[in-house]
Amino acid sequence: MIKAGIIGSTGYAGGELARLLLQRDDVEIKWYGSRSYIDQKYASIYQNMFKIVDDKCMDDNMKELADQVDVIFTATPQGLCSTLVNEEILSKVKIIDLSADFRIKDVAVYEKWYKLTHGSPEYIKEAVYGLPEVNREKIKNARIIANPGCFPTCSFLSTYPLVKEGLIDPNTIIIDAKSGTSGAGRSAKVDSLFCEVNENIKAYGVASHRHTPEIEEQLSYAAGKPVVISFTPHLVPMNRGILVTAYASLTKEVTWEEVRAAYDKYYKDEYFVRVLDKDVVPQTRWVEGSNFADVNFKIDPRTNRIVMMGAIDNMVKGAAGQAIQNMNLLFGLPENTGLKQIPMFP
């Protein structure tokens, strides 16, 4: 039995972690942490947990929690996990952090984009970027896992094979991404109100979104050289889902079969990455509620460019599902344990 604690359990990602973990017989959630709802019943905040969870919300005392569990998920705002973690805690428990605190290896870049002073920069180098499709072996022995962001997960999986194989010039990549409103979190914000979001679509964080350096860093590792991209996210009136449409210049003339072979090289044995059939475009509705990432591409010979596409559920593969995928690796379990949910439709 894996004993787990969740700090930040009342946010959307924390709630999704609870929903997925509660379906398992091999995991016990010992701690529903929430600074905003201490001593309130968890089921009073998420009524879908009525008669399923009787526990009350606890605080964010990671030191106390580390004595009770095997793994701690921190689904918290940026900056909190890095102020809580220390060597004593890491000697007792695994940390899977869903914030950006340990994703970016250059602390100066993190502090510039997130406007925060990092609380424990000594652990940045040690932390493993938790994208199983790339860092599977490193994840298995990690003490701290930096769970990737939702936009970076979808953007990277959509473009990685072609960057890795040198079929595109990575510095020509333009990523247009669209997200459901759950990606903005559960806290009250005017921009997330129904009347602000409904019947509307807008770009935000233009040329300044803080997931940009995370995407660039991971693509730089794939390319073996520094990569600079253009990334623009958009907010769309739906609850869940991310759709990425990425464009890049080809480095040579290619056939559909050559490009497909590149995707198959990296993803044919990946349970959660589904390379779609020719001319089938990814859609968020076909991944909703699941840990799957659907990807595909279209060659545009007229412009010597290629269009790379991807779709994920931002709350599952983009957050909680990927965190559980990482937990499975940490504890030597099949990677898809507890994550075989078929996408919901309608």
Burial class (CB in 10 A: 0-12, 13-18, 19+), 334: exposed
List the catalytic residue out of 81, 150, 154, 195.
150
Q: Identify the bridge partners of residue 146 per DSSP, sorted by sequence position.
A: 97, 129
Q: How far is the C-alpha of 212 from the C-alpha of 235, rounded, in Å?
A: 16
Name the H helices within the chain: 12-21, 42-45, 62-66, 80-84, 87-90, 107-114, 132-140, 150-164, 194-197, 212-223, 256-267, 321-330
Tokens found for residue 214: 């995370």
State yes or no: is 150 an active-site residue. yes
With tokens 């000697």, the residue in question is 91
Cβ proximity of 236 and 201 under 8 Å? yes
Burial class (CB in 10 A: 0-12, 13-18, 19+), 196: middle
Catalytic residues: 150
